[in-house]
Structure 1
Amino acid sequence: MSEHVRTTRETIELMLRTVTEGSRDDLADLYAEDVVVTNPFAPQEFQESRGNAALRARMNGFAQYLHYSEIKNVTIHETTDPQVAVVEFTVVGTLAPTGEGFELPSINVIRVVDGLIAESRDHSDGLRAAKLLESLKAAGALS
């Protein structure tokens, strides 16, 4: 009997739940070993993560500064390619150093292979993301 491999939708739904219900390591476990995550509108140093180890390190590096409490406004658009979906959502959280709340709307194009995220092109609200990074820098969280 074959083991069930998560579908693209199941993997994305699990990823969204894990953002608030799991650890950053739990989240990184949902990404393939050779994953590529791009953030084309982010500052240069945050535009790309290649490989699970780099992504895991980045996620864990931000864990002490960004606490996520809710994922809302979720819409998953399945495409004609069963491995690819477009996901709209808003992350709600708190900047740990200041206690300041934030909401960051995003649209991600995600490719899932064998139940793991193999590629993600992440597009967040640029103005809100820049404000978030500036708040982290002002709090001494980023250099």
Structure 2
Amino acid sequence: MTPEEVFRKLVHGVAAGQYAGLPELYAEQTDVRHPMHPERPEPLRSRAELRAHFGGGQDAEPDPLVRFEAVDIVVHRTEDPEVVVGEFAYAGTVAGSDESFHVPCVFVLRVRDGQIVESRDYVDHAAMAKARRRIAEITREPAAGDDAS
């Protein structure tokens, strides 16, 4: 697959909850970073770490709170044939409401021999967590009703 094809398969797979095949898009040894994540997690360095990141390599059950898709996709090729910059947004709706969300993202991928060897995923994690009603998970704030003692 070309770098652009890998990028598109990744973002559409995430949006569809098709996590089982996503680790195979990455090289066995890789370097995946989420520079905008509030907790500044360690880089993901292997396919095994990515499998855990994607929920153990199982497809996700449909999220009862949100439905979203990757939209407004623009892929920029660079002078380096292995590197693409993908701009897009995850856009969707919150179940049981008229509330919609639009989370802009930029992924910078280095793809070698059809596999991601390096990625910088710039996502507004707080906006995505808020849409999914999981803001407490990424900010370590007690959820409503939790005992703060």
1:92 Cα deviation after fit? 2.6
Q: Which residue number corresponds to residue 118 of structure 1?
A: 117
Confirm or deny: 8 A CA contact 2:36 2:122 kept in the other structure.
Answer: yes
* Equivalent residue runs for 1:55-74 within 5 Å: 55-60=50-55, 63=60, 69-74=68-73
Q: 1:93 deviation in Å?
A: 4.5
> Could you tell me how far 1:43 is from its partner in structure 2?
2.3
Please list, as runs of the form range in 1=range in 2, the aligned pairs for 1:26-105 lying within 5 A after superposition: 26-44=21-39, 46-60=41-55, 63=60, 69-93=68-92, 102-105=101-104
Q: What are the Cα deviations for residues 18-48 of structure 1, in whole angstroms up to 9, with x where unaligned?
A: 2234621212221111121101121235352
Q: Which has the higher helix share?
A: 1
For the pair shown, which has the larger CA radius of gyration, 1 or 2?
2
Indicate how the Cα distance of structure 1 residues 68 and 57 shifts in structure 2: closer, same or farther if over 3 A, else same: farther
**Greater fraction strand:** 1
What are the ranges of 5 or more consecutive residues in structure 2 without an aligned counterpart?
137-142
For residue 118 of structure 2, give the secondary structure of its aligned residue in structure 1: strand
Query: In the comparison of the two structures, how many residue pairs are matched?
Result: 130
Q: CA deviation at 1:55?
A: 1.4
Could you state the TM-score of these two structures normalised by the residue count of structure 1? 0.73
State the TM-score, normalizing by the size of structure 2.
0.70
Give the SS at the match of 1:41: coil
SS in 2 for 1:28: helix
Counterpart amino acid of residue 26 in structure 1: G
Identify unmatched segments of 5+ residues in structure 1.
1-5
